[in-house]
Amino acid sequence: MRDSIAPVSAVIAAYNAEELIGATIASAQAQTLPVAEIIVVADGSTDGTAKIAASMGVRVFNDDCPGLARARNKCVSESTQPWIAFLDSDDLWEPDKIERQMEMASEDPELGLITCDYSTFSESGNICASELEKYAAAYLSQPKRAVSQGAVIESLDPSFDSAYYFLLASNVMVRREVLLRTGLFDESLHSADDFDCFMRILAHARMGLVEKLLVQRRHHDDSTSNRHPAATLSCLAATYKVLEHPENYPAATVELCRRWLPGNLRHAGARLIWNGEPSRGRGLLIESARLEFNWRTLLALTASLPPRAASRKLMQARYYVSQTLGI
């Protein structure tokens, strides 16, 4: 297998990623089983992202594709291979990532999506050495069929409620025809577009999980993306989308989203209050409280009542109490 070329398009959506894009591309180029092509959509980057990528001999498109979902869709439209492997512009593949996943693909022609174990790191050091080890209990309870590289999951079980952690873009390789049939990334979502897309695939195709660390996922210590209202609102929108169109998703995903809805309403409401939209935030918190009583919701509602400056201090106290006492 090492002397052949994998029928895989490695696709990287990037925006102003000049500091990291070189290492990311290099990890895709260093595969023990080389991919047929590497595509970078630089999404109208204003820094040196496109120039660096071009200098490394990959196909580069610097179209203005606002939003990660649209950039990913551009990657897919430009790809030419039967399999598409996604790679975020700040993550890294281990050298045998594609080889291991293609070995699994060769064992089961019905697989539509193949993911893997991964580690998480930041500039401060290693955060999690193995996500599969972290969520071992839930994974072991999931019905599955053993294969040489790991396991094939015919359909998701609600007990594997951490399955979505393994559906991160950099982990996933999908069969192109399955992706086109089930639908591309939802461009209305600021985030959670990968969760939405890959779960729709799993309503129609089997999932394989390589039980080996094949990806290094970078966590940014100073990242503001998860603190921005658009991120939490997108998670909420993706949850509602699943509940409103259950026929498009695995039954286990629908059940999980029902469980997640009160928490996603709470997170989005609290984030809106933190960012100066108390009225809108209160509406989401009240809806959360109607579905499920939770002390964190009550604390967030209390913090939304005073003037904004006081609200921010109360919200800080709410986050502290939540993290310290676990309520």
Per the structure, the count of domains in the chain is: 2
In angstroms, what CA-CA distances link 312 with 10, 44, 65, 300, 304?
Answer: 43, 35, 34, 10, 9
Enter the pTM of the model.
Answer: 0.88
For residue 229, is it within any domain?
no
For residue 230, is it within any domain?
no
Which residue type, as a one-letter code, is found at position 89? S
Q: What integer is the mean pLDDT of 297-320?
A: 64
Pair (217, 250) in one structural domain: no
For residue 154, is it within any domain?
yes
Mean pLDDT of the chain: 89
For residue 234, is it within any domain?
no
Pair (64, 164) in one structural domain: yes
Whether 308 has a pLDDT exceeding 70, the answer reads no
Per-residue model confidence as pLDDT tens digits over 98-136: 999 999 999 999 999 999 999 999 888 888 999 999 999
Provide the pLDDT for residue 325.
47
Pair (306, 185) in one structural domain: no
For residue 295, is it within any domain?
yes
For residue 233, is it within any domain?
no
Q: How far apart are CA 221 and CA 212, in angstroms?
A: 26
Domain finish residue from 223, 258, 284: 223
Domain holding 74, by residue range, is 6-223
CATH number at residue 120: 3.90.550.10
DSSP 87: -
Report the SS3 class of residue 249: coil
**For helices 278-291 and 251-274, angle between their N-to-C axes, nearest 10 degrees:** 140
For residue 17, is it within any domain?
yes
Per-residue model confidence as pLDDT tens digits over 39-80: 999 878 889 999 999 999 999 998 777 789 999 999 999 999
Pair (108, 34) in one structural domain: yes
Provide the pLDDT for residue 63.
77
Whether 279 has a pLDDT exceeding 60, the answer reads yes
Pair (262, 209) in one structural domain: no
Q: Which H or E element spans position 213?
A: strand 206-218
Which residue type, as a one-letter code, is found at position 136? A
Per-residue model confidence as pLDDT tens digits over 194-243: 999 999 999 999 999 999 999 999 987 654 444 567 889 999 999 999 99
For residues 101 and 322, which has the higher predicted lDDT (pLDDT)?
101
Provide the pLDDT for residue 307.
62
Q: How far apart are CA 40 and CA 49, in angstroms?
A: 9
Domain finish residue from 223, 248, 279: 223
Pair (192, 124) in one structural domain: yes
DSSP 248: G
Pair (28, 167) in one structural domain: yes
Domain finish residue from 163, 194, 223: 223
Pair (181, 86) in one structural domain: yes
Helix, strand and coil content of the chain, in percent to the nearest 5, comes to 50, 20, 30
Q: How many residues does the chain have?
A: 327
Q: What integer is the mean pLDDT of 146-158?
A: 94
Pair (219, 286) in one structural domain: no
Pair (276, 187) in one structural domain: no
Pair (88, 162) in one structural domain: yes
Provide the pLDDT for residue 295.
82
Pair (256, 219) in one structural domain: no
